[in-house]
Amino acid sequence: MRNKKYLIFAVAVIAAAALLLGGCSGGTGAVGILDVNKVMSDSPKVKQLQEQLNTKAKELSDTLEKDKASLSADEFQKKQEAAYGDFLKIKQDLEGQVDASIKQSVDAVAKEKKLGVVLYKNSVAQGGTDITDEVIKRMQ
């Protein structure tokens, strides 16, 4: 009895997933696959933004080290917290730029290839058209 309920539940979930993916395809059955990890490691644009972040972190660190001797412990801690806040704000801004660039590139490639849906590679066991390299090229 328990196995029968499990089987019915599994069939219902598979049917719902098929309907959802079919409805999202916009009439085309094409599914694009994006390897975000590869984009993050191979994209020159991402590397450039990471370099900007590293440069800013070094500047903030150097400034703190230079001022450390002339500040009291409390003043140094406050300055350190402010520098960390600045770093986080810059990091969030650069991450937003990366996200926007990826989204814009995925949208363009999906439109060009007439893809109904684009999924992340880590959630796809098999199938689909890998668009990762085209997205990386468009991000430049």
Model confidence over 95-117: pLDDT tens digits? 999 999 999 999 999 999 998 88
How far is Cα 27 from Cα 50, in angstroms, rounded to an integer? Answer: 39
Mean pLDDT of 51-59: 92
Q: Which of 51-55, 84-88, 118-122 has the lowest mean pLDDT?
A: 118-122
Total of domains in the chain: 1
Residue 122 lies inside a defined structural domain of this protein: yes
Residue numbers of the domain that contains 117: 29-139
**Does residue 2 lie within any of the structural domains?**
no
Q: Note the pLDDT tens digit of each residue in 4-54.
A: 555 555 545 565 565 555 555 444 558 898 988 999 999 998 999 999 999
Give a yes or no: residue 119 inside a domain.
Answer: yes
Residue 24 belongs to some domain of the structure: no
Instruction: Give domain status of residue 76, yes or no.
Output: yes
> Is 4 a member of any domain?
no
Q: How far apart are alpha carbons 98 and 49 in whole angstroms?
A: 8
Q: Fill in the amino acid letter for 37.
A: N
Q: Once rounded to an integer, what is the mean pLDDT over residues 46-68?
A: 90
Residue 88 belongs to a domain: yes
* The pLDDT value given to residue 108: 93
* Distance set, CA 101 to CA 10, 15, 41, 127, 134 (Å): 38, 34, 15, 25, 13
CATH code where residue 59 lies: 3.30.910.20
| Domain assignment of residue 96, yes or no | yes
